Amino acid sequence: MNIKLIVGLGNPTAEYEHTRHNAGFWFIDELAWQWKAQLKSEKKFHGDIARVAQPQGDVWLLKPDTYMNLSGKAVAALVQFYKIQPEEILVVHDELDIPCGQIRYKLGGGNGGHNGLKDIQAKLGTPNFYRLRLGIGHPGDRNLVVGFVLSKPPASERQLIDNAIAKSLQAMPDIMAGDLEKTVRHLHSK
């Protein structure tokens, strides 16, 4: 199956724009720029979307304008309207359990307490969608997690995250071709 929907997770409004939790939005912005796609607000799909013609067919880009814990609302609306299967979805998100700047790519699995993933799984009724996990590191104490993900990373960490996004964009042809093995080999290497 080919990817037909790429969702970047984050929180809307300028207040959250530069916070770690918006790494998925940063990815979508870069991908849209690279693919020369114009994201437009679409109330029906609860987010900013773009339709991009690719060799294997149309691909939708989505940045939900709901807050993180309601991300599934936007995903479900677009998926139901365009009859997209869970295995045709790639969700790009920040990941606490991966060191800052590292990347992991997988199909399915748990949500690791990530509220955006939790809501998407609940709305789709399955965890079987692809995830591009952008490492942001962990503050070391679970009581500090909320403040950590909702704060702006220092310039050195932002550079690591931006480098991870650039590396992920290089892997997009393999991701779009459905070459899981090649994608994992590329993204999981140092």
| 21 classed as catalytic | yes
Q: Has 130 been labeled as part of a binding site?
A: no
**Rounded-to-integer distance, Cα 24 and Cα 29, Å:** 9
**Residue 157 three-state SS:** helix
The structure tokens listed for 158 are: 């932002």
What stretches of 38-149 adopt beta strand conformation (E)? 40-42, 47-54, 57-64, 89-95, 103-107, 130-135
The residue from 18, 21, 46, 114 that is catalytic is 21
**2 marked among binding-site residues:** no
At position 7, the amino acid (one-letter code) is V
Cα separation, 174 vs 123, in Å, equals 28
Token pair for 81: 């309207």
Tokens of 93: 């998100």
146: helix, coil or strand? Answer: helix
Q: Which residues are part of a known binding site?
A: 16, 67, 69, 115
Known catalytic residues are: 21
Q: Which residues are part of a known binding site for tRNA?
A: 16, 67, 69, 115
